[in-house]
């Protein structure tokens, strides 16, 4: 039986156990906006509750779940010894304390990652799991609280899955895991050609690889999405930043080879604020739409972020990413309860 673990980091403990979303996270029938099947949209804790705590740490994932998230979102990169680590970036300087570690000073070097050609940094793939475990996470957004800097280790994908299995959401549902394969082509270039296999094997090890498991697998690289879609019955999500990227993915034979689309928020509306048609086009193919990323401290068009979330929900999205799950949880709850 799954148990609910409460950690002392959560602010909205009053919300725990009193979730009244009747159809919460995947339930059908009560959501007033045109999501597929009128299901309540998934609330995805982007990099954990990364607005409150250093991103991609186990406490940030716990906090996201305590704050109402249905899903945690581990971004995945490889260590030197082939372990899937949870990091957004292929480098380490902005999200860890590596710059203050004298034993690693000589390991700073020019980028092996073509995406960051001129960058001097420490690269995750240059370090073993044991070395990475000596680092501590820091908050990369310096306008956010820095009080948790230096406290938490970088987790492995294994550890993130252990956490997910150890508890439930505030709606007492299994925790959904939404891993993102980061830079598969770069990893293949440096010898890690088995990212898809490793992700699926790790999910399998934790009993999360079967059809119907609460898992979505995402990537910005269409070739990877196509490859892994052929290897699993789990839903895969094509991430796109703009219409050109979506068109490029659609031009690949066999497209659409995804069951979910993860567009930028900006792709969903035209200049007048009306739907740009992306949601309707995907829904017509039975594909869910999960836009990214709402951030309380990065308002859109000068509006309160709650207003922006509500506007996007009203367009009919099936899920949304936010650094501040507590805010998303409140807005989604207000929709369910009919609050203006």
> In the window 225-264, what residues touch ligand G3P (CB under 6 A)?
239, 262
Using CB distances below 5 to 8 A depending on partner kind, what does residue 292 bind out of ligand G3P, Ca ion, none?
ligand G3P
Residue 292 makes contact with ligand G3P by CB under 6 A: yes
Residue 88 makes contact with ligand G3P by CB under 6 A: yes
Contact with ligand G3P (CB under 6 A) among 19, 39, 43, 46: 46
Contact with ligand G3P (CB under 6 A) among 321, 324, 328, 335: 321
**Nearest to ligand G3P of 239, 268 (CB atom):** 239
Q: For residue 39, what are its two tokens?
A: 């299901």
Residue 218 makes contact with ligand G3P by CB under 6 A: yes
Q: How far apart are CA 282 and CA 115, in angstroms?
A: 29
**Nearest to ligand G3P of 75, 113 (CB atom):** 75
Binding mask 54-73 for ligand G3P (x = CB under 6 A): --------------------
**Nearest to Ca ion of 89, 229 (CB atom):** 89
How many other C-beta atoms lie within 10 A of the C-beta of residue 27? 16
Residue 180 makes contact with Ca ion by CB under 5 A: yes
Provide the minimum distance between the beta carbon of 337 and Ca ion in the complex, in angstroms, as a whole number.
30
Stated as kind and residue range, the H or E segment containing 130 is helix 129-132
Provide the minimum distance between the beta carbon of 262 and ligand G3P in the complex, in angstroms, as a whole number.
5
Contact with ligand G3P (CB under 6 A) among 62, 232, 293, 322: 293
Strand partners, 219: 238
Burial of residue 190, with CB atoms counted within 10 A of its CB: 0-12 exposed, 13-18 middle, 19 or more buried: middle
**Nearest to ligand G3P of 122, 292 (CB atom):** 292
The residue number whose beta carbon is nearest to ligand G3P equals 292
Using CB distances below 5 to 8 A depending on partner kind, what does residue 321 bind out of ligand G3P, Ca ion, none?
ligand G3P
> Which one, of 165, 188, 201, lies nearest residue 77 by Cα?
188
CA 75, distance to chain mean position in Å, is 7
Strand partners, 269: 275
Torsion of CA 108, 109, 110, 114, to 10 degrees: -80
The strand pair at 109-110 and 84-86 is best described as unpaired
Is the Cβ–Cβ distance between 88 and 55 less than 8 Å?
A: yes
Provide the minimum distance between the beta carbon of 136 and ligand G3P in the complex, in angstroms, as a whole number.
21
Q: For residue 13, what are its two tokens?
A: 């403990």
The footprint of ligand G3P on this chain (CB under 6 A) covers a number of residues equal to 10
Residue 75 makes contact with Ca ion by CB under 5 A: yes
Residue 40 makes contact with ligand G3P by CB under 6 A: no
Using CB distances below 5 to 8 A depending on partner kind, what does residue 322 bind out of Ca ion, ligand G3P, none?
none
Q: How far apart are CA 91 and CA 266, in angstroms?
A: 27
Provide the minimum distance between the beta carbon of 295 and Ca ion in the complex, in angstroms, as a whole number.
13
Torsion of CA 209, 232, 23, 338, to 10 degrees: 130
Is the Cβ–Cβ distance between 174 and 168 less than 8 Å?
A: yes
Beta strands in 96-207 (DSSP E): 109-110, 120-121, 176-177, 180-181
Provide the minimum distance between the beta carbon of 130 and ligand G3P in the complex, in angstroms, as a whole number.
26
> Which one, of 299, 330, 324, 292, lies nearest residue 48 by Cα?
324
Positions touching Ca ion (CB under 5 A) are: 75, 180
Positions touching ligand G3P (CB under 6 A) are: 46, 75, 88, 180, 218, 239, 262, 292-293, 321
């Amino acid at each position: 039986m799954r148990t609910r673990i409460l950690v002392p980091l959560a602010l909205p403990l009053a919300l725990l156990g009193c979730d009244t979303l009747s159809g919460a996270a995947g339930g059908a029938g009560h959501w007033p906006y045109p999501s597929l099947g009128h299901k309540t949209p998934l609330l995805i804790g982007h990099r954990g509750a990364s607005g409150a705590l250093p991103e991609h740490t186990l406490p940030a994932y716990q906090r996201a779940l305590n704050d109402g998230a249905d899903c945690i979102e581990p971004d995945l990169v490889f260590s030197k010894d082939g372990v899937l680590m949870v990091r957004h970036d292929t480098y380490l300087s902005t999200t860890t304390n590596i710059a203050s570690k004298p034993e690693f000073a000589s390991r700073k070097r020019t980028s092996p990652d073509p995406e960051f050609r001129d960058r001097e940094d420490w690269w995750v793939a240059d370090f073993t799991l044991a070395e990475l475990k000596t680092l501590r996470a820091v908050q990369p957004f310096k306008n956010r609280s820095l009080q948790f800097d230096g406290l938490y280790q970088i987790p492995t994908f294994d550890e993130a899955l252990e956490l997910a299995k150890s508890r439930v959401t505030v709606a007492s549902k299994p925790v959904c895991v939404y891993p993102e394969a980061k830079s598969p082509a770069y990893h293949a270039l440096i010898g890690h050609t088995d990212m898809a296999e490793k992700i699926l094997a790790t999910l399998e090890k934790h009993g999360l690889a079967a059809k119907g498991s609460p898992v979505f697998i995402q990537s910005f690289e269409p070739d990877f999405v196509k490859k892994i879609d052929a290897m699993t019955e789990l839903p895969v999500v094509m991430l796109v930043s703009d219409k050109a990227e979506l068109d490029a993915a659609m031009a690949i034979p066999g497209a659409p080879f995804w069951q979910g689309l993860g567009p930028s928020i900006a792709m969903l509306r035209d200049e007048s604020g009306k739907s740009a048609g992306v949601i309707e086009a995907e829904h017509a193919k039975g594909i869910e739409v999960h836009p990214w990323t709402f951030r309380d401290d990065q308002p859109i068009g000068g509006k309160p972020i709650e207003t922006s979330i509500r506007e996007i929900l009203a367009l009919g999205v099936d899920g949304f990413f936010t650094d501040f799950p507590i805010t998303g949880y409140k807005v989604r709850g207000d929709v369910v309860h009919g609050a203006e």
